[in-house]
Amino acid sequence: MTSGPGVGIVVVSHSRALARAALALAGEMLHGRPVRIEIAAGLDETTFGTDAVRVKEAIEKVDGPAGVVVLMDLGSAVLSAELALDLLDDPTARDRITLSSAPIVEGLVVAAVAASGGASRAEVATEARHALLGKAAHLSPPEETATDLAAGDDGPAVTARFTVANSHGLHARPAARLVSEVSGLDATVTLTNATTGAGPVPAGSLSRVATLGAQRGNEIEIRATGPQAQEAVEHLLALAARHFDEVAQAGPAVVEAVTSGPVGASPGIAIGPLRRLMVPTVDVDESETGDPAAEWRRVVEAVAEVRREIEHLRTLTVREVGENEAGIFDAHLTLLADAALLADVKQRIGGGVGAFDAWSACLEGIEREWSELPDPYLRERAADVRGVGDQVRRALVGAGSQQTVDEGILVARDLTPAQAAAIDASAVHGIVLASGSATSHAAILARSRGIPLVVSAGRDLLAVPEGSLLVVDGTTGEVHVDPEPELVVDYRRRAADLADRRARDLALASEPAATRNGTPVTVAANLGSVADARAALAAGADEAGLIRTEFLFLGRSTAPGVAEQEQEYAAIAAALEGRRATLRTLDVGGDKPLPYLPMPVEENPFLGVRGLRLALERPALLQDQLVAIVRVARQAPTSVMFPMVSTPAELRAARTALDEAAGPDGLPADLRVGMMVEVPAAALKIESFLPYLDFVSIGTNDLTQYTLAAERGNAGVAALSDALDPAVLQLIDRVCEAARGRTPVAVCGEAASDAAAVPLLVGLGVRELSVGPHAVPAVKARVRELDLDLCGVLAKQALTLESAAEVRDLVATKLTAC
């Protein structure tokens, strides 16, 4: 909104889209008259929530001698606005700020009009607060007066009861869901455990709801007052009826999703003590504290910092692991926005206690209450409180949040991509995950760094004591706990043999790979950075078969421009020293969202708007990337590859966009155009795509999950999601047969580095295998062992089998013949 000299207005909303729409509506009423209005809405373009730091920044942008009126939509928006006042750098500014109870849409319209006419802050706030009176007078019965409306009588209480059906009761996740539902309504709601007598507690406080100890079968009484009391009760009853959006279980004893493992996910052998992720403890002497205002400010800033960390981690987890696994972060965020908790901390600080000690005392009290709950599962959730509390404590003293692992074998329930990327490969000799899958991004990162990994090992391993000796075989999926000495000796010998083999393979890695009868096979590398390109060159990669350009688009608030993209792509090309670089266009979407690309929530994002589908809906974004790619192609051998293509029309549209990006000079002569074959439909009608292509690259990760209906991050179907299933091999064969003699076929999925898959892929007609840089030497060595004719016979036989297990057995028994 245009700047002006009068009262400033800030809109605090959970929804960025809602705030922008309200701002646009208000702008229509101003007819060009200047008013200073800022919005502090949403955690990003698509995530609901509010952030005190952003509210503070918005207030400072519009603050002036006339002051500021802040409009808030509901629930934690009020808390965020109150916290923002405590963060203001100017101690006198708080006296110029009015937090208004006005409705956000009607209030903003009349407040903006009043401010544009030169009204004072008090007049603007009054106009906003009375924004509903005209509508109320028109719709209310004659006997209802404006005075009655303004009085805001809460009216009689509305009560109801529900029975908890969740297997573990109202633990952190369902409780967080309940709290978020209540926070969105204009009502005062309390809950009582009618079965045990615990309560009443405020329904808007996660820390208090958990103390109800509500277990499966307990009856909970809801009591609500206020304008939306009836709606609040109805919402909570509906929420309880659908088990607070958790999957209802048949019995009281429930464990994590059944895994289908253990499954070897990254080859190699590791021997060492069991280690877990650790966060260094924080010990601080706060005998000397600042004034209460400064100490409270420290708490607010630390909480805001941790919220941003958790929000980022949640986004990564949704993108790479799944929405269900990310649910626990909702509970963490709700705890950090708990008004009762923060009020307790502030009260202690007002009594002279330092920020660190006040926060610690409050969190320790909550943790103690949770740990004393009767249900074992609910008691375990005290660890969630401790984890969040420690994060804020570390932020208070600037200790950071980096997790460390002692030297040995890391054991965890699962790893986020961020955690996997931060692992020190010199200390972590192997990884065992209780859940996860071999095609998860954490597994891909482990393979790219040569760390043996076993996934879907089951939660029993999480109970094994720290320091216990483990033997891990990332090829077979075997995990031995406290093995006999003879077994350890045997595995040490195997590990030494593997190390010798690796050294021999690396010594020959720079040489071309060809089968025993002279058929060349390109062994390329999958890259995501300039560092990856250097590693690929050192490992002997013939070229870059897949460059994941999304590395440049993640972790930022705006998309990179043409110049920045050109610079990064050119740097990768330079690091490859003349080898061809295949740049895949942006592969994001509903399952891998970007904050600056608002998208509707999709029930199944893997089947939604992603890859090329998204790029074609955002032509400006696609155009910028293609312009950058064309510029690099004029300087170095370059290919462009389009992901998630389902129809020839999509490919034709992409080719048209590429021609437009090239401009009047036309496409560079050496620029090759390809597409990913990840969708079964694309494989089945591949002939209709080939006229527009110079090459195709089969992405076996997605092709496998779509063919077998086995989501790649789901531990329950980890064993089913195997690229050597005959159905997947038949689709690869379909592509190779159609393309034979006219269009080169590559495989850039994880199957390309699978020792059992390599002879089958080569036998079917694949002539390029693109793998993680670390796998290049071993794949080249594997190719050199193969007899092409025998591989062809083996591959055709594999197409007739029933399962991936049978295919792997076939390869294992025929290795000497192939």
**pLDDT tens profile 527-542:** 888 888 998 999 999 9
d(CA 451, CA 426): 10
- Check: CB of residue 353 under 8 Å from CB of residue 290: no
Beta strand segments in 504-637, E: 522-527, 544-548, 581-584
Active-site annotation holds for 818: no
Active-site annotation holds for 441: yes
* CATH class given for the domain over 8-150: alpha beta
Q: What is the pLDDT of residues 152-210, one digit of tens each?
A: 445 678 888 888 887 667 765 676 667 666 665 667 888 888 888 877 888 776 556 76
The CA-atom distances, in angstroms, between 495 and each of 53, 300, 524 are 52, 51, 26
Does residue 799 surpass a pLDDT of 90? yes
Does residue 786 surpass a pLDDT of 80? yes
Q: Specify the CATH architecture of the domain 158-245.
A: 2-Layer Sandwich (3.30)
Q: Which residue has the tokens 């991050």?
A: 713
Does residue 657 surpass a pLDDT of 90? yes
Q: What is the pLDDT of residues 633-645, one digit of tens each?
A: 999 999 999 999 9
- Check: CB of residue 481 under 8 Å from CB of residue 470: yes
d(CA 532, CA 525): 9
Assess if CATH 1.10.274.10 describes domain 292-397.
yes
d(CA 654, CA 689): 12
Assess if CATH 3.40.50.620 describes domain 511-817.
no
Domain positions in the chain: 8-150, 158-245, 263-276+403-496, 292-397, 511-817
Mean pLDDT across 660-673? 92
Highest-confidence range of 25-39, 290-304, 792-806, by mean pLDDT?
792-806
279 or 728, greater pLDDT = 728
Does residue 77 surpass a pLDDT of 80? no
Instruction: Give the list of residues 6+ apart from residue 14 with CB closer than 8 angstroms, or none.
Output: 41, 42, 48, 49, 50, 73, 74, 75, 76, 77, 184
Mean pLDDT across 312-328? 53
Given the residues 362, 736, 748, 818, select the one marked as catalytic. 748
Cis link prior to 200 (omega < 30° from 0)?
A: yes
Phi-psi group of 409: left, alpha or beta (phi > 0 → left; psi -120 to 50 → alpha; rest → beta) = beta
SS3 string, 665-688, reads HCCCCCCEEEEEECCHHHHHCHHH
What per-residue confidence (pLDDT) applies to 602? Answer: 60
d(CA 421, CA 474): 18
Confidence of residue 14 (pLDDT cuts 50, 70, 90): confident
362 or 811, greater pLDDT = 811
Given the residues 171, 332, 429, 441, select the one marked as catalytic. 441
- Give me the amino acid identity at 2: T
Assess if CATH 3.50.30.10 describes domain 263-276+403-496.
yes
Confidence of residue 380 (pLDDT cuts 50, 70, 90): low
- Give me the amino acid identity at 606: F
Could you write out the DSSP letters of every residue in 737-805? HHHTTTS-EEE-SGGGG-TTTHHHHHHHT--EEEE-GGGHHHHHHHHHT--HHHHHHHHHHHTTSS-HH
| Sign of the torsion angle spanned by Cα atoms 764, 766, 767, 770 | negative
The CA-to-CA distance between both ends of the chain, in Å, stands at 71
- Check: CB of residue 38 under 8 Å from CB of residue 58: yes
Exposure class string for 494-510: b at 16+ Cβ within 10 A, else e: bbeebeeebeebbeebe
